[in-house]
Amino acid sequence: MLGLGAHRPDVMVDNEQICQWIDSSDEWIRKRTGIVTRHRAPAEVSVVDMAEGAARDAIQDAGISPRRSAP
Q: Which domain holds residue 42?
A: 11-62
pTM: 0.66
Q: Are 56 and 5 in contact (CB under 8 A)?
A: yes
| pLDDT recorded at residue 46 | 95
Rounded percentage of the chain residues whose pLDDT exceeds 70: 96
Handedness of CA 7, 12, 13, 14 (dihedral sign): positive
Residues 6+ apart with CB under 8 A from 1: none
Residue 29 lies in a domain: yes
**4 domain residue, yes or no:** no
Q: Determine the Cα angle at 25 with ends 32 and 16, to 5°.
A: 115
Number of domains in the chain: 1
Tell me the Cα Rg of the chain.
18
Classify residue 1: in a domain, yes or no. no
